[in-house]
Amino acid sequence: MLRNQLPQVNNRAMAKLEQLMFDNTYARLPDTFYERIAPTPFERPHLVHFNPEGAALIELDVDEAKRPEFVEYWCGKRCLPGSDPIAMLYAGHQFGIYVPQLGDGRAILLGEVRTSRGEKWDLHLKGAGLTRFSRDGDGRAVLRSTIREYLCGEALHGLGIPTTRSLCIIGSDEPVIRETVETGAMLVRLAPSHVRFGTFEVFYYRRQYEHLRLLADYVITHHFPHLARDPDRYVCLLYEVAERTGRLIAKWQAVGWAHGVMNTDNMSILGLTLDYGPFGFMDAFQPSFIPNHSDHHGRYAFQNQPDIGYWNIRAIAQALSPLMNPAEAHQAPEVYETAFSSHYAELMQAKLGLREVHEGDERLRRDLLAILHSNKVDYTLFFRALADFRQDDPQANEPLRAMFSDKSAFDWWAERYRARLKAERSVDTERKIGMHQCNPKYVLRTYLAHQAIQRARVQDYSELDRLLQLLRHPFDEQPEMDAYAAPPPEWAQHLVVSCSS
Ligand code: AMP
Ligand code: MG
């Protein structure tokens, strides 16, 4: 059937499952880059959740989710026509130590779909069973971690942060052993590419420089086509990766989010948030926030993320160094640092509602973070409420002041903030509109995800549904959803997230 005979939604052709147009570019690379392997299906799969926005990305007709075959295709029971399933090879630095072979130990790249817009999307099935790279693992993912990844990908996207996306979750009754016995699930993850820093590292450390070049050429052709004819294309690629990574981490810092496991195998070459594990949004502001219960030394604590980003850029620069002059590779961390710092400053300036840049702004910001920390003020709630700050009505600022146990600390800062706003003739009503567009009211707090998981365990997906709807529009008031903006209730104060998934 021709493209233009397919059903149209918003002038776009929407495909049936069997009509997805595969173009499996990665599977055409030499077979040392992957293992060709089919998923191991669940015996009794069921649909946990379907994301119409994910379907729109790959131009899949949303009604396809109602067909019984839908679940079978996305749990490996049936093979999508045109797909060519592979597990990708990669390595990586885990907690600072080089591990020579990792690879997709429980995820399978079913294939790559081309859309009429010319985009290409990896269909990646996480939890799909054993591969050559499974090491001691069981090849499975549990419902809990799958829901967390599904929700957070959509939540970060809603916040304007580059990330992998998802199409659906398939559940099962297959027992999977973690700290306790849980059930297996599969997540269909979508991204333009799943190439990681570690995909380059594996060829660098094996001294397979021809493969390294091939991979770099592949990434440039498909994802950085504007560099294809550049004589310095490998250097430019490295610097663009550094730039994107710097901007990405700036965005994480500005919303108060920690990835949890920033190993180089979890760093996307496209600068996307990738591989959601024990991540977390901070509630009360705490620079040493460690979302991963197993990260005893806090290597991946919130405040360390910018430095770890720098460390990781050094690792990718090292891996790409055979393709360039070493001095050029050495400059990549600086490119990262500049991109991070300038974007972070820009984002925080916007969060504070400041249009201009004045001397002393950085001090003002640092002092604010210091008092948020010492007063254990909720990060998200504070910035949202700051939009209501009134320059000439101290009474109106009482709710903000009430967030601080040390009122004098707030008064001290608020007076300086007031003077700073006056210095750029800020208009309260105008500033509020802008601040609401960059300070979310709703984020995926750990306890909210936890509640959705508890319900999903008894096959009630209503909370999952509600959260997904809510987090698509994190900057909107959504007054009927006010309760979801609240900091964690007493019972959830000490919820911990382990890295088992
Ligand atoms: P992660 O910590 O999820 O980023 O995974 C690190 C490495 O361990 C990757 O190579 C994964 O594919 C692999 N891995 C994680 N969990 C499992 C599992 N349950 N079975 C097999 N491999 C796994
Ligand atoms: Mg990973």
Digit-coded pLDDT (tens) for 318-369: 999 999 999 999 999 999 999 999 999 999 999 999 999 999 999 999 999 9
Q: Give residue-wise pLDDT tens across range 407-440.
A: 999 999 999 999 999 999 999 999 999 999 999 9
36 contacts 84 by C-beta, under 8 angstroms: yes
Output the CA 185–ligand 1 centroid distance in Å: 15
State how far Cα 387 lies from the chain centre: 27
406 contacts 319 by C-beta, under 8 angstroms: no
Q: Is 125 left (phi over 0), alpha (psi -120 to 50) or beta?
A: beta
Q: How far apart are CA 271 and CA 248, in angstroms?
A: 6
Q: How far apart are CA 103 and CA 39, in angstroms?
A: 15
pTM equals 0.97
Atom of ligand 1 nearest to the CA of 176: 19
Lowest mean pLDDT among 153-157, 169-173, 496-500: 496-500
Q: Which ligand is nearest to the CA of 499?
A: 1
Pocket test of ligand 1: the residue of 101, 106, 275 to mutate, having most ligand atoms within 8 Å of its CB, is 106
With a CB cutoff of 8 Å and minimum separation 6, the contacts of 421 are: 353, 354, 389, 391, 431
| 298: Cα within 13 Å, side-chain hemisphere | 9
| 345: Cα within 13 Å, side-chain hemisphere | 15
Output the CA 470–ligand 2 centroid distance in Å: 27
Total residue count of the chain as it appears in this document: 501
pLDDT for 10 equals 52
Q: How far apart are CA 77 and CA 349, in angstroms?
A: 51
Give the tokens for residue 156: 């970060």
Atom of ligand 1 nearest to the CA of 107: 12
Beta bridge partners of residue 122, listed in sequence order: 112, 191
Pocket test of ligand 1: the residue of 37, 126, 134, 264 to mutate, having most ligand atoms within 8 Å of its CB, is 134
Q: How many CB atoms lie within 10 A of CB 496?
A: 12
Output the CA 134–ligand 1 centroid distance in Å: 7
Task: Give, in order, the Cα–Cα distances in Å from 419 to each of 154, 385, 393.
Answer: 38, 19, 14
- Residue 330 identity: H
Which of 283, 270, 258 shows the shortest CA–CA distance to 218? 270
* Element at 236 (helix H, strand E): helix 233-255
pLDDT for 114 equals 98
Would the pLDDT of 1 be above 70? no
Q: How far apart are CA 77 and CA 165, in angstroms?
A: 23
Which residues are near ligand 2, the ion (C-beta closer than 5 Å)?
266, 275
Q: Which ligand is nearest to the CA of 129?
A: 1
Tell me the average pLDDT of the chain.
96
- Give the pLDDT mean for 153-179: 98
Output the CA 433–ligand 2 centroid distance in Å: 39
pLDDT for 2 equals 41
Given the residues 122, 265, 283, 378, select the one marked as catalytic. Answer: 265
Nearest Cα residue to atom 12 of ligand 1: 105
Would the pLDDT of 117 be above 90? yes
Pocket test of ligand 1: the residue of 86, 133, 178, 498 to mutate, having most ligand atoms within 8 Å of its CB, is 133
Would the pLDDT of 4 be above 50? no
Would the pLDDT of 13 be above 90? no
State how far Cα 500 lies from the chain centre: 18
Q: Which ligand is nearest to the CA of 137?
A: 1
Burial of 53 (0-12, 13-18, 19+ CB in 10 A): middle
Output the CA 196–ligand 2 centroid distance in Å: 9
Would the pLDDT of 8 be above 80? no
Buried b (16+ CB within 10 A) or exposed e, 299-318: bbbbebbbebbbbbbbbbbb
Q: Which ligand is nearest to the CA of 106?
A: 1
pLDDT for 12 equals 57
Output the CA 241–ligand 1 centroid distance in Å: 24
Pocket test of ligand 1: the residue of 135, 177, 201 to mutate, having most ligand atoms within 8 Å of its CB, is 135
- Ligand 1 contacts (CB < 6 A) are 102-106, 133-134, 137-140, 261, 266, 275, 277
- Coil, strand or helix at 228: coil
Atom of ligand 1 nearest to the CA of 499: 2
Looking at per-residue pLDDT, the higher value among 493 and 109 belongs to: 109
Q: Give residue-wise pLDDT tens across range 238-260.
A: 999 999 999 999 999 999 999 99
- Coil, strand or helix at 394: helix
Asked if 406 is an active-site residue, the reply is no
| DSSP type of residue 60 | B
- Residue 27 identity: A
pLDDT for 490 equals 94
- Give the pLDDT mean for 153-174: 98
CA angle (284, 290, 293) in 5-degree steps: 120
Q: Give residue-wise pLDDT tens across range 356-385.
A: 999 999 999 999 999 999 999 999 999 999
β-strand 8-9 against 107-114: which pairing, if any? unpaired
| DSSP type of residue 293 | T
- Residue 212 identity: L
Nearest Cα residue to atom 11 of ligand 1: 105
Residue 499: band (very low, low, confident or very high) from pLDDT cuts 50, 70, 90:
confident
Task: Give, in order, the Cα–Cα distances in Å from 413 to each of 242, 287, 439.
Answer: 35, 19, 19
Output the CA 291–ligand 1 centroid distance in Å: 18
Radius of gyration of the chain, Cα coordinates, nearest whole angstrom: 23
